[in-house]
Amino acid sequence: MPVGLTIVAVLVIVALGVILSSIKIVSEYDRLIVFRWGKYYKVLNPGFHLIIPIWEKTVGVDVRIRTIDVVPQEVITRDNVTIKVDAVVYFYIFDPKLAVCAAENYMLASSLIAQTTLRDVVGQYALDDVLSKRDVIAGKLTEIIDKETDPWGVKVTAVELKQVILPDKMQRVMAAEAEAEREKRAKLIHAQGELESSTKLIEAAKAMAAEPSSMQLRFLQTLNEIAPEKTTIVIVPMPESIIKTVQKIGEHTNRD
């Protein structure tokens, strides 16, 4: 191939490379930061754009909601109980320029802020409050972390506590306490039932005492219940008055 054609081919390839490198297509969920000669120039929104190769350099930023998993942090609560707490932080980039220019690594910076804030905030609460006021603690964490990350263009929308890990000894103590509480409730329910039952028995006794025939009906009903089979032997207690009457009848018969 002649030298002239070779040079032309090389120039064409270089020109195509320059043209292709100047074309930038920005997705809906991205923003491109343009730097011209190392200085911030502008932000490219979604769509088709052309830049000047070599003169301009671009850095992409994802503006969708993202999460940071905060690794379990060892915390000493206000009542001196050592626990481990982890969380998840939801955030998005509201200012791509700040995210790129104000922090070397906004993800790492935000994660470290979340860790230290989690330890500080949870340490202000007693263990019972940590377990029962998770929403309150999460709200406070969101407010503080969002304020700290605002200079980096990071907007924190929510923080959720994932787990509160207790020491094994504390878990056994709480399990024993819960069991004792359940036994207490069971005994109270049983005692309440006994009280109601005794009250009803007293009322029934008063009603039967007012109408003696009802006692006899109840007696016959009881016999019917305890002797459903013919093979059952039932010992019936007889009133003393009936026994004396039978004895007198027997004495008169013997005299005759």
Q: Kindly report, residue by residue over 15-54, the tens digit of the pLDDT.
A: 676 676 778 888 888 999 999 988 999 999 998 888 888 8
Q: Does residue 57 lie within any of the structural domains?
A: yes
Among the candidates 139, 171, 203, a domain finishes at 171
Q: Verify that 46 and 78 share a domain, yes or no.
A: no
Q: Verify that 121 and 50 share a domain, yes or no.
A: no
Q: Kindly report, residue by residue over 95-153, the tens digit of the pLDDT.
A: 999 999 998 899 999 999 999 999 999 999 998 888 889 999 999 999 999 999 999 99
Q: Does residue 112 lie within any of the structural domains?
A: yes
Q: Does residue 40 lie within any of the structural domains?
A: yes
Task: Name the residue range of residue 25's domain.
Answer: 3-62
Q: Where are the beta strands (DSSP E) in the chain?
A: 23-26, 30-36, 39-44, 47-50, 56-62, 66-76, 82-93, 154-165
Dihedral, 191, 192, 198, 203 alpha carbons, nearest 10: 170
Tell me what the pLDDT averaged over the chain comes to.
79
Q: Verify that 42 and 57 share a domain, yes or no.
A: yes
Amino acid at 16: L
Instruction: Give the pLDDT of residue 172.
Output: 61
Q: Kindly report, residue by residue over 192-210, the tens digit of the pLDDT.
A: 777 777 776 676 666 666 6
Q: Does residue 201 lie within any of the structural domains?
A: no
Q: Verify that 57 and 84 share a domain, yes or no.
A: no
Q: Verify that 73 and 28 share a domain, yes or no.
A: no
> Do 126 and 79 touch, CB atoms closer than 8 A?
yes
